[in-house]
Amino acid sequence: MRLGILGGTFNAPHLGHLICAQAAYEQLSLDRLLIVPTGIPPHKPTSHDDPGPLIRLELCRAAAAGDERFGVSAVEVERDGPSYTVDTLRLLHEQTPDNDLYFIVGGDAAVSLPRWRDPEGVLSLATLAIARRSGTSRSRLSIALGQLRGGERHEVLRMPQIGISSTQVRARVRTGRSIRYLVPQGVEQLISEHGLYTGTGAQ
């Protein structure tokens, strides 16, 4: 089975994430795609308005609800300590050794891959699927991946440019503006129910 893994903080998950997931699913001919919210991000500080990994996991499940192509994994949320990609891929490989893993990253993350924990281990466990955004040139990608054994094992995905970010979603909630059409309806409902990103709820 061809299994895609889309990781991230997902604070909050929005339609841009799902459009990226769909494009990867189609272009990589995946059988299944897992959304994997980070427990403790190892490479950046936790946002002051992060409601915590369990709530972000719940938001991801709401985002993927009703789409049989997508699942949500709690593997990083349930593991203690920082969420290193190589550990996640190793665990998924051990659980289902016959699966071909495709790890989906943005172009900026792919350029920074040499600075990750055991980047060659990542490349040995999964094919890197790069959602290249404007501002990330192919030459920068080639230079970064060329430093690593297995760096040639990657695919570049064609992604529509979607001007939605989690930061934007949180800012709109904080200032009382609508997030309809930016996030799935279930995510919007949970944000409202939990009072997220307003400074008054489960922060």
Residue 196 covered by a domain: no
* DSSP-derived secondary structure letter, 200: S
- Could you report the per-residue pLDDT of 69-78, keeping only the tens digit for each? 999 999 999 9
Residue 144 covered by a domain: yes
User: Would you place residue 141 in the very low, low, confident or very high pLDDT band (cuts 50, 70, 90)?
Assistant: confident
**How is residue 99 written in tokens?**
């699966």
Residue 199 covered by a domain: no
Structural domain count of the chain = 1
The residue count for the chain: 203
Residue 175 covered by a domain: no
Say which CATH number the domain at 124 has.
3.40.50.620
Query: What is the domain extent for residue 10?
Result: 2-163
Residue 197 covered by a domain: no
∠ at Cα 202 (197, 203), nearest 5°?
A: 55
* SS3 at position 6: strand
Alpha-carbon distance 182 to 127, whole Å?
Answer: 30
Number of DSSP helices (H) and strands (E) in the chain, helices first: 9, 6
Alpha-carbon distance 107 to 32, whole Å?
Answer: 22
Alpha-carbon distance 35 to 138, whole Å?
Answer: 26
Residue 61 covered by a domain: yes
Alpha-carbon distance 125 to 119, whole Å?
Answer: 10
Give the pLDDT confidence score for residue 44 in this predicted structure.
66
Alpha-carbon distance 68 to 33, whole Å?
Answer: 9
Q: What is the residue-averaged pLDDT of the chain? A: 92
User: Would you place residue 203 in the very low, low, confident or very high pLDDT band (cuts 50, 70, 90)?
Assistant: very low
Give the pLDDT confidence score for residue 202 in this predicted structure.
45
